[in-house]
Amino acid sequence: MKTTHHGRKRRIIASHEDVVLLYAGERLPDDEPLSASEVPPGCKVRRIFHPPRGVVSTYCNI
C-alpha cells in the first residue's frame, strides 16, 4: 500500500483487500469522485473492495 500526501488531504492507494480512507471530492481509480453530500465535513469514508465485484461497502467514520 502506498500513501501520498497533498497538503492536508491524504489519499491511500490500496490493494483490493485494503480499506481506503477518502475525503469528499477525491476519487479512486475507475470510480466517480465522492460528492460533498455523500461525505459530511470532517468525515472520512471507508470503502472496502472485494474483487471482482468492486466496492461492496461504503460507510462514514469521523
- Name the residue ranges covered by the structural domains of the chain: 2-61
Give the pLDDT confidence of 10-39 residue by residue, as tens digits.
Answer: 554 444 444 445 555 555 555 555 555 555
Residue whose entry in the numeric block shows the C-alpha cell 467514520? 61
3-state secondary structure of 20: strand
Task: Determine the average pLDDT of the residues in 53-60.
Answer: 53
pLDDT at 40 over 50: yes
In Å, what is the CA distance from 6 to each residue of 10, 26, 58?
Answer: 6, 12, 23
pLDDT at 53 over 50: yes
